[in-house]
Amino acid sequence: MTVAADPAVHHDPPAGPELRRVLMRRLIAPLIGLLLFSVAVSLWLAARYVNAVYDRELYDDASAIAAVMAGVQEDDLRLQVERFAEITYDEVDNIVYAVSIGNADYGPDSVAPAPPNAVRFRRGLIYDLTADDGRMRAVELSVPRVRDGRQVTVHLARTTRRRLSTLEELAAVFVVPQLALLAIAIVVVSGGLGHLVRPLAIVEAQLQNESLAPVRLPREPMPREVAALVGAVNGLVSRLQEVLRRERKFTADAAHQLRTPMTALRLQLDDARQQFTDEAVLAVFARLAATVDRAIRVTEQLLALARVEQADGPAPRESLDLVALAREIGADWVPQAMRAGLDLEFEPATDELNIDGDRQLLGEALSNLIDNAIKYAGKGRGRRVLVSLAFDDDGAVLSVEDDGPGVPESEIGRLAERFYRGDRKDTPGTGLGLALVKEVAQNHGGRLELAHASGRRGLRASLHLPVPAKAA
């Protein structure tokens, strides 16, 4: 498992839904509701219109039959009824009718009379029927005969297939444009919301960067609320920068003031030790000297950290050969590695690699990595510390790994925290080395990555650095 060093241990608040989705729901849901209401009203009006048209047509047909039957001679009544079958034929609907004059039934079909709840339509009654062909719409109309005053009653019923087909066509005319309008509205609203929340995404991306640089937005006009938010964030960043600047200045000043007396104390201990020959006293002096050396190392690393942190922006750039720098720093650590019984090896993937960086800071970072590896590699024949230089998609990877006992999985992510030493407090060290390396990496636009070494023994610390295009 590989864990990028991240000293900032914090707890994010529980994440809710994306702002864009929330706004989409709050805008689109009422829009859909309004559309459904509009569709329902449109279908209701269309149904009223279609029913009115077909009811009028049904009534007109019944009225025409009644008018003819009211004036025809007695001998022609039955013949005239049969002729109406041709007039009332329809390719879609099934039409049935029945004619009666007084108590005489002239057929030709049987149609149920109007129920009590029938709706009056002009001089007739409109009502619904259920027959073998399905639902039917019927009309009942009575008029007096001209010749003898008897009542001519016409029952005319027609299936509703044609009127339903007409209603479906009207529904398509009403609904399809509104659905298209809804789709267009969703696209427009989604695009508008995307444009609205894009500045927030920019703010988030810039705030996730560990740099405390002010948030910069595109020059295009932004909503007032977003601009106010960015202004407030930048104000907070400015205050944090000032607090950190004072803290770093205090740390640097304190370390600088401590370094001189600590160095003087170390020299005085050396002079005092020359005055004694007793082994017990010399052992005490040795422990005191080791303690002072650790204090001096802490002050030196605090000064180095302050130098990196106080730099405004990236480190001053100069073209340098990373391979040559690694060889030079590695050579300085060979004597200490030999005293520890270790083999210090260097395996570069190339003979020369020019990058832009700060030689002093990069050298300090590599020295800290080698120092850590030597301390924790253990002792004994066959132990080694490997310095390697390779490439990945991001650029150059300068790695230092040891084959010591390694670090528990739970501690890898915290190794770059300042003064964090885990359960290795019995090993000399300050807990600042990897923190310094991480700061140097970030100052150069790179990162520090910590992982188990090959075979999951030991620790591999990798310094990822960008490489200029011409050198890649």
Contacts of 461 (CB under 8 A, 6+ apart): 369, 372, 373, 399, 400, 401, 434, 437, 448, 449, 450
As a whole number of angstroms, the distance between CA 395 and CA 469 comes to 9
Q: Which of 135, 134, 158 is nearest to 59 (CA)?
A: 158
Closest CA to 441 of 3, 2, 5, 1: 5
- Which amino acid is residue 94, in one-letter code? N
On the 0-12 / 13-18 / 19+ scale of CB atoms within 10 A, 3 is middle
Q: Residue 183, exposed/middle/buried by CB under 10 A (0-12, 13-18, 19+)? A: exposed
Q: How far is Cα 301 from Cα 315, in angstroms, rounded to an integer? A: 17
HEC profile of 158-190: EECHHHHHHHHHHHHHHHHHHHHHHHHHHHHHH
For the chain, the first-to-last Cα distance in angstroms comes to: 27
Residue 470: its pLDDT value, please?
Answer: 58
Residue 30, both tokens = 């009422």
* Sheet of strand 95-101, all strands in order from the earlier edge strand to the far edge: 104-108, 95-101, 151-159, 134-144, 124-131, 119-121
pLDDT digits (tens), the chain, 472 positions: 444 544 444 455 555 567 777 777 788 888 888 888 888 888 888 888 888 998 898 898 888 888 877 777 766 667 666 777 666 667 788 888 788 887 777 777 778 888 888 888 888 898 988 887 788 888 898 888 777 778 888 888 888 888 888 888 888 887 888 888 888 888 888 887 777 777 777 777 777 765 666 666 666 666 777 778 777 877 887 887 777 777 766 666 666 666 677 777 778 777 777 777 778 877 877 788 777 776 776 676 666 666 666 555 555 678 888 899 989 988 988 888 888 888 888 888 888 888 888 888 888 888 888 888 888 776 666 678 889 988 887 788 899 888 877 777 777 777 777 766 665 555 555 667 788 788 888 888 888 888 887 766 788 888 888 887 655 5
The residue assigned the tokens 């390396």 is 437
Measured between alpha carbons, how far is 277 from 257 in angstroms, rounded to an integer? 33
Residue 147, classed as helix, strand or coil, is coil
**What does the pLDDT read at residue 1?**
43
Contact 380, 442 (CB under 8 A): no
Residue 311, pLDDT score = 57
- The predicted pLDDT at position 8 comes to 46
What is the Cα–Cα distance from 454 to 388, expressed in whole angstroms? Answer: 13
Q: How far apart are CA 450 and CA 413, in angstroms?
A: 8
CA distances from 173 to 46, 164, 179, 268 (A): 10, 14, 11, 100
The full set of domains in the chain, from first to last, is: 24-168 (3.30.450), 209-310 (1.10.287), 318-465 (3.30.565.10)
H or E segment and range at residue 397: strand 395-402
Region at 434 (left for phi over 0; alpha for psi -120 to 50; beta for the rest): alpha
